[in-house]
Chains A and B, each alone.
Chain A
Amino acid sequence: MTRVLIPSGALGLNYDQAALERGIVNRPDIIVIDGGSTDSGPAYLGRGVSKYARASTKVEWAGLMTARAKAGVPLVIGTAGTCGADTAVDWMLELTREIAAEQGTPVKIATLKSGQDPEAIAKANLSPLPGAPTVTAEDIAACSNIVALAGAEQVTQALETGADIIICGRATDTAIIAALPLQNGDHAGAAWHGAKIGECGALCATNPQSGVLQVDFDATGFTITPLADGAHATPHTVYAHMLYENSDPFILYEPGGYLDVRDATYTALDDSRVRVEGSAWVPSDAYTVKIEGARVAGYQVVAMALLRDTRYVANAQAWADDIATKARAKVEARLGTTDFHIELRLIGQNASFGPLETKASTPNEIGVTAIVTAPTEARAEEIAKILNPYLLHHPLTQEEEQPTFAFLFSPPEMKRGATYAFTLHHTMTLNNPMDAFRLEVHEHG
């Protein structure tokens, strides 16, 4: 039997303090929180940084460190700093040391790093997953960060160091929760299934933003208990969480095997707790881990103009298409390159779906967002400046008086810096689960 306390779906999303304290009173065996996701896009992995404010992360992590000290159990964070890159683990380690010094509590910290050498990965034998992009060895070598997703085995190794706090680089959302129940010999199918249900905290219950969730694992199944006032788990809310951000709601691939929940049963124990049994873990012959990578895909400059004149609003698409054509020709003539990308999106008309939009209506105004992408920031800026007079003055017809449109700022161009691309959706086979990971222990205080 293993009791796992999950404060929320991610560090940085806050948690209900009263519910967390209730969780501590219930004497958990471990406190586990996820720190990352690919859901906010490739820039975080590309840059190796967190999406959340340092101040928010620090306040929430300090609260969890206090709770950990009170409970006397390990505290684990997975995919530290949104992306789990080595720099994000170092950032989290620095925060942890800073808080430990402020709290005056000695702690033993383990870090599990997942970063990979892009040059080595470019030469490695990778298997593409369904939907993987076509990539060359050069694309892989050009990644600014590549991470491998740790499974339960690597998290277990980190737990075995006896550390109070474990900061994991990239790890599967489930592995950080499943590791201790698996180590304790609880039902393997239940360990992975309960981990999947719990990985977003109370998102598997009513009042999903309340965060704090308790999952009890044992020899035959697991029990879900949301801890905030007004939060209730029902068989429906728990089962439905298998749909969440999952392409397949019944089969979940993990390092070393897959979870099959097709025969799982969901039973209400009372009006807030749900019991789940019948899930199966199917081990695989080879031990594979997924890898993720991001590389710079260019530099962007964005400019916006507002169309409010009725005739221009009605003819916005033709106006924008004409500008794009003329601006591209001028850039080619003046900069002598075709290696750039100009796109004008019509916010208020079809910016969400472009040509796939099915609705047509005439709004009062349209926000025209011009997005320039080029191999260097200097070139992107030059191109945006060539585009500028068109966005300001381009007429629908040659005969009419020169029009002027609204710019929001001076200058209207906004530098976005590098834009990143997810480059890898592949797996890599390891002889030993620790082969792609590095475990270190740091004593503090």
Chain B
Amino acid sequence: MAELRALVQKVRSKNAGPFWLTIDIFCGSAAAYTVVQPRLDTAAVAQVFGKDAATFKRFDIPDLHVIKISLPRPTIQGAIEDRDMHGASWAALVGEMQI
């Protein structure tokens, strides 16, 4: 087991419009992608958000050494419960996952 962020170049999260969040995991090399891609379980990512993985979209992009995961935004952007207008902090929670 290792922290995801220790295995990859960068984890980025951004709004994809007000209703979706997208997480880009840049592995940085083919070697890192080969290690991370099979070990990163979408259901485990969904658990970090307390959500059902069935609503998640995942794109494994070997050409870019990137795994992209998109999900309905945990709270709608700007709603009174929203804690992060630009959705950028979620990357930390994903990066700290043990895989």
Contact = CB atoms under 8 A, between A and B. Distances in A.
Interface residues of B, number: 38
Contacts of A358: 48, 93, 96
Given A247-B22, A248-B70, A133 B76 contact: yes
- Residue of A39, A343, A354, A420 with most partner-chain B CB within 10 A: A39
A248 B59 contact: yes
B10 to A, nearest CB: 11
Nearest to A341: B80
- Residue of B57, B72, B74, B77 with most partner-chain A CB within 10 A: B77
B64 A236 contact: yes
Contacts of B81: 343
Contacts, number: 103
B39 interface: no
Given A240-B66, A358-B93, A353 B83 contact: yes
A41 B77 contact: yes
Contacts of B70: 247-248
Contacts of A38: 15, 17-18, 77
A141 interface: no
A173 to B, nearest CB: 11
Contacts of A351: 83
- Residue of A131, A244, A247, A373 with most partner-chain B CB within 10 A: A247
Nearest to B22: A247
Contacts of A359: 96
A419 interface: yes
Nearest to B14: A245
Given A38-B17, A41-B77, A131-B19, A354 B83 contact: yes
Interface SS majority for chain A: loop
Contact of A353 (B22, B57, B93): B93
A422 interface: yes
Q: What interface size band does chain A fall in? A: 35 or more
B94 to A, nearest CB: 11
A366 to B, nearest CB: 15
Interface in B67-99: 68, 70, 72-74, 76-81, 83-86, 89, 92-93, 96
- Residue of A355, A371, A419, A421 with most partner-chain B CB within 10 A: A421
Given A243-B24, A245-B14, A425-B18, A131 B59 contact: no
Given A131-B73, A298-B80, A425 B14 contact: no
Interface in B38-67: 48-50, 57, 59, 61, 63-64, 66
Given A131-B19, A354-B83, A356-B48, 18 more contacts: A38-B17, A131-B73, A243-B24, A243-B64, A245-B14, A245-B15, A247-B20, A249-B68, A297-B80, A300-B80, A353-B93, A356-B93, A420-B78, A421-B78, A421-B79, A422-B18, A422-B77, A425-B19
Interface of A: 38-43, 129-133, 236, 239-240, 243-250, 297-298, 300, 341, 343, 345, 351-359, 371, 373, 419-422, 425
Interface of B: 14-20, 22, 24, 26, 48-50, 57, 59, 61, 63-64, 66, 68, 70, 72-74, 76-81, 83-86, 89, 92-93, 96
